[in-house]
Amino acid sequence: MTIVATDSPAAPALRRFALRGYVPLFPPFAVLLLFFAVPIGMMIGISFQDPKTAQFSLGSYQRFLTDGLIIAGLFRTILMSGLVAICVTVMAYPVAYFLARSTSRWRAIVFALAIAPELAGVVLRTYGWLIILEDRGFVNDALIWLGLVSSPLPLAKNLFGVVVGLTHVVLPFGILALLTSIQGIDPNIEKAAQILGASRLSVIRHILLPLSIPGTVSSLLISFTMAASAYATPALLGGARFKVLATMISEQIMFYINWPMAAVMAIVLLVLMLAITFAGGRVETRLHKKLNV
């Protein structure tokens, strides 16, 4: 930069030219600033207010850390999101592998089926699951009719129901994350392992899984953050009996009209997701280096 500044008369023109390159970035930057950064700043501001007097207060933070019900909600969120992340990734893997490797005509159909759920809205799909899982739902009716159970199994309004519903919602994203990663693995590498005597299982264990770790980590991260931030599915399938941070935030606003408390919860949720994403990113980079992929 100093060289340009000292001996080149074209330097200001160059700099102006360089600036011009950033012009297309201004509108999105302005939108983000106005509708993302500013609201987050406001949220942080509100979180430090007293709910009654609007004076500066650390009360809401204090309550978050000491209220057992809220802490339980936080752990429920982590448990639910972790389970969804694992379920999605385990279920998405074989589908993604098939999509990455298959040359059959079924490939297009499977791909459409894998992505199609995204076309129906989240609320619609969640009501669908409710009809299937609730006490007088399809599954319980069938089980009772068959005489396998005498009273309905608790399939909805609990952790199980929410995890099922969210897994369905998030699955396509897991598939896409893994698909990209598996497509990057040369099929000849699997063939090479096979011809060297590796059984199908050994190929998966020694070749496929290690080489697709980046995709697996992405799938886990995406699923976790999507599950943790989901509102509609836990609200409908979890209800009042299974509260997570997202539903508790809305409860604070709608029922208790306690914006500072809602803001604190939202900040905790945000920090949780940032921490998970950051940690996952670190793990992924480390593995990337180690795997030489």
Partner 1 sequence: MSDIDIELISVRKTYGNALVVGDISLSIPKGEFVSLLGPSGCGKTTTLNMIAGFQQPTGGEIRIRGRNQAGVPPEKRNIGLVFQNYALFPHMTVAENVAFGLRMKGAPRAEIDQTVNTALKSVHLEGFEAHYPKELSGGQQQRTALARAIAPRPSVLLLDEPLSNLDLKLREAMRVELKEIQQQLAMTFVYVTHDQEEAMAMSDRVVVMSGGVIAQEDKPENIYNAPRTSFVADFIGKSNILPVSAVRATGDQREITINHSNISLAVGSDQAGPPAARFCCIRPEDVRIIGGEAFAEGANVLDGTISKIVNLGAHLDLWVTVDRDITIKALVRSSRSDQLKTGNHVSISIAPAAIRLLHE
DSSP conformational letter for 184: T
Task: Name residues whose C-beta falls within 8 Å of residue 157's C-beta, 6 or more positions apart in sequence.
Answer: 134, 237, 238, 239, 240, 241, 242
Task: Determine the Cα–Cα distance for residues 113 and 21; give it in Å rounded to an integer.
Answer: 42
The nearer residue to partner 1, 208 or 232, going by C-beta atoms, is 208
The nearer residue to partner 1, 143 or 193, going by C-beta atoms, is 193
Minimum distance, C-beta of residue 97 to partner 1, in the bound complex (Å): 17
Minimum distance, C-beta of residue 283 to partner 1, in the bound complex (Å): 15
Minimum distance, C-beta of residue 199 to partner 1, in the bound complex (Å): 6
Minimum distance, C-beta of residue 103 to partner 1, in the bound complex (Å): 11
Residue 132 near residue 138 (C-beta atoms within 8 A): yes
The nearer residue to partner 1, 7 or 186, going by C-beta atoms, is 186
* φ/ψ bin of 68: left (φ > 0), alpha (ψ from -120 to 50), beta (otherwise): alpha
The nearer residue to partner 1, 91 or 293, going by C-beta atoms, is 293
Site residues, partner 1 (CB under 8 A): 186, 188-189, 191-199, 202, 206-207, 210-211, 290-293
Task: Determine the Cα–Cα distance for residues 280 and 82; give it in Å rounded to an integer.
Answer: 13
Task: Determine the Cα–Cα distance for residues 130 and 164; give it in Å rounded to an integer.
Answer: 10
The nearer residue to partner 1, 58 or 192, going by C-beta atoms, is 192
Minimum distance, C-beta of residue 222 to partner 1, in the bound complex (Å): 23
